[in-house]
């Protein structure tokens, strides 16, 4: 395996924190590192493992780490956190219950000294317990609507905004940095995943509107590059247009095949995944909406 150093921006974190060093990144092909850690704001970091993104926040006394991803990634994630700071990881937070984002918490906790609480929305518990995976320990702290984590000198707010990509996703907000972390139900100029497995309408657009009610300028997504408020607003435009078009199709008596063949949102045609997944988005939305309205053919 080829090993190469990828430079990481140095950010001042105050007394007791370590200046962020250059992480070692294993190349997965070409010049694309398999993983990398980058500073988003003072004490706020994005950890990317292949196509998945995690997020951690450093305070004066503690660290909150979001989404261990999987056991292999979590071992590297732990080392990357330790390259930035020696402060204890007090919380490991699941953005939602999907195993590709919320596995490996035990590895992450052990690699950062142990003793971390695992946090998730209360709505995530049933899915995690039903899966009963040793790689996904259940949360030790849950909440229904909001929860604040005190890291010392700064807080991280957790917000449950309702069903969207899942029925248990949260959005994290670092108020002093005006940075949010949101996973899977919003992305940077990309359509939804395939035929929208597990998605909810109208919850998807309701959640995005609620997210836009939070006070942030920058957003770290669970996949893809860092974005801003405008990127989230564009997501709202996409999902609102898709939902309206599909509802109109269902009410007009179109079949799923007819909706998939006729509905086009050309202003989003340059988005990631549009060519391969847009028709699947239409099909998935059709099944969800037709099922809820008792229509469709």
For 238-294, how does the pLDDT look when each residue is reduced to its tens digit (9 = 90+)?
999 999 999 999 999 999 999 999 999 999 999 999 999 999 999 999 999 999 877
> Do residues 55 and 110 both lie within one domain?
yes
In this prediction, residue 168 carries a pLDDT of 99
CB 170 within 8 A of CB 209: no
SS3 271: coil
Q: Grade residue 297 by pLDDT with cuts at 50, 70 and 90.
A: low
Is the pLDDT confidence value at 21 over 50? no
CB 94 within 8 A of CB 118: yes
Instruction: List residues bridging with 286 in a β-sheet.
Output: none
Q: Is residue 36 part of a domain?
A: yes
Q: Is residue 221 part of a domain?
A: no
> Do residues 149 and 207 both lie within one domain?
no
For 116-145, how does the pLDDT look when each residue is reduced to its tens digit (9 = 90+)?
999 999 999 999 999 999 999 999 999 999
More confident of the two residues 29 and 255: 255
Q: What is the spatial distance between Cα 67 and Cα 139, in angstroms, rounded to a whole number?
A: 12
- Nearest Cα neighbor of 177 from 213, 220, 207, 143 is 220
> Do residues 242 and 178 both lie within one domain?
no
> Do residues 207 and 179 both lie within one domain?
no
Is the pLDDT confidence value at 6 over 70? no
In this prediction, residue 22 carries a pLDDT of 41
> Do residues 110 and 136 both lie within one domain?
yes
In this prediction, residue 130 carries a pLDDT of 97
Residues 6+ apart with CB under 8 A from 29: none
Is the pLDDT confidence value at 27 over 90? no
Q: What is the spatial distance between Cα 47 and Cα 113, in angstroms, rounded to a whole number?
A: 19
Q: Is residue 251 part of a domain?
A: yes
Q: Is residue 103 part of a domain?
A: yes
More confident of the two residues 38 and 21: 38
> Do residues 234 and 165 both lie within one domain?
no
In this prediction, residue 293 carries a pLDDT of 74
Q: The CATH number of the domain where 128 resides is what?
A: 3.60.15.10
Instruction: List residues bridging with 117 in a β-sheet.
Output: 91
CB 155 within 8 A of CB 147: no
Q: What is the spatial distance between Cα 246 and Cα 65, in angstroms, rounded to a whole number?
A: 38
> Do residues 45 and 85 both lie within one domain?
yes
Q: Is residue 232 part of a domain?
A: yes
Q: What is the spatial distance between Cα 178 and Cα 40, in angstroms, rounded to a whole number?
A: 10
| Domain extent at residue 296 | 188-216+226-297
Q: What is the spatial distance between Cα 242 and Cα 156, in angstroms, rounded to a whole number?
A: 33
Instruction: List residues bridging with 65 in a β-sheet.
Output: 56, 92
Q: Report how many domains make up the chain.
A: 2
Is the pLDDT confidence value at 18 over 60? no
> Do residues 2 and 95 both lie within one domain?
yes
For 162-221, how does the pLDDT look when each residue is reduced to its tens digit (9 = 90+)?
999 999 999 999 999 999 999 999 999 999 999 999 999 999 999 999 999 999 999 999
CB 273 within 8 A of CB 191: yes
In this prediction, residue 295 carries a pLDDT of 64
Q: What is the spatial distance between Cα 138 and Cα 128, in angstroms, rounded to a whole number?
A: 6
For 87-106, how does the pLDDT look when each residue is reduced to its tens digit (9 = 90+)?
999 999 999 999 999 999 99
The mean pLDDT value for 147-158 works out to 99
- Nearest Cα neighbor of 233 from 214, 215, 209 is 209
> Do residues 175 and 31 both lie within one domain?
yes
- Residue 48 phi/psi, 5° resolution? -105, 130
Q: Is residue 105 part of a domain?
A: yes
Helix crossing, 229-251 with 274-293: angle to 10°? 50
CB 205 within 8 A of CB 236: yes
Q: Is residue 74 part of a domain?
A: yes
> Do residues 154 and 241 both lie within one domain?
no
> Do residues 95 and 131 both lie within one domain?
yes
> Do residues 38 and 118 both lie within one domain?
yes
Six-digit token string for 43:
């004490």
The mean pLDDT value for 8-24 works out to 38
The mean pLDDT value for 9-36 works out to 51
């Amino acid at each position: 395996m080829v090993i190469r150093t990828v430079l990481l921006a140095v950010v001042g974190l105050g007394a007791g924190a370590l200046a962020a060093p250059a992480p070692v990144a294993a190349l997965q092909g070409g010049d694309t590192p398999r993983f990398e850690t980058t500073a988003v704001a003072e004490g706020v970091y994005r950890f990317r493992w292949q196509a998945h993104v995690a997020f951690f926040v450093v305070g004066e006394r503690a660290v909150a780490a979001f989404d261990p991803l999987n056991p292999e990634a979590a071992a590297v994630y732990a080392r990357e956190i330790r390259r930035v700071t020696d402060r204890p990881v007090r919380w490991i937070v699941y953005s939602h219950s999907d195993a590709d984002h919320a596995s490996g918490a035990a590895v992450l906790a052990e690699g950062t000294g142990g003793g971390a609480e695992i946090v998730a929305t209360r709505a995530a518990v049933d899915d995690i317990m039903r899966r009963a995976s040793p790689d996904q320990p259940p949360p030790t702290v849950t909440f229904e609507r909001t929860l604040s984590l005190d890291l010392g000198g700064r807080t991280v707010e957790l917000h449950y905004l309702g069903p969207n990509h899942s029925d248990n996703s949260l959005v994290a907000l670092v108020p002093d940095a005006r940075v949010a972390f949101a996973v899977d139900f919003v992305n940077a100029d990309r359509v939804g995943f395939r035929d929208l497995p597990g998605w909810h309408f109208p919850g998807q657009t309701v959640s995005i509107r609620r997210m836009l009610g939070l006070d942030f300028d920058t957003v770290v997504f669970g996949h893809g590059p860092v974005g801003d408020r405008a990127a989230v607003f564009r997501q709202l435009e996409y999902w609102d247009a898709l939902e309206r078009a599909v509802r109109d199709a269902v009410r007009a008596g179109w079949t799923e095949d007819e909706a998939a063949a006729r509905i086009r949102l050309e202003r989003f045609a340059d988005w990631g995944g549009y060519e391969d997944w847009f028709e699947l988005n239409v099909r998935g939305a059709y099944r969800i909406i037709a099922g809820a309205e008792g229509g469709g053919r």
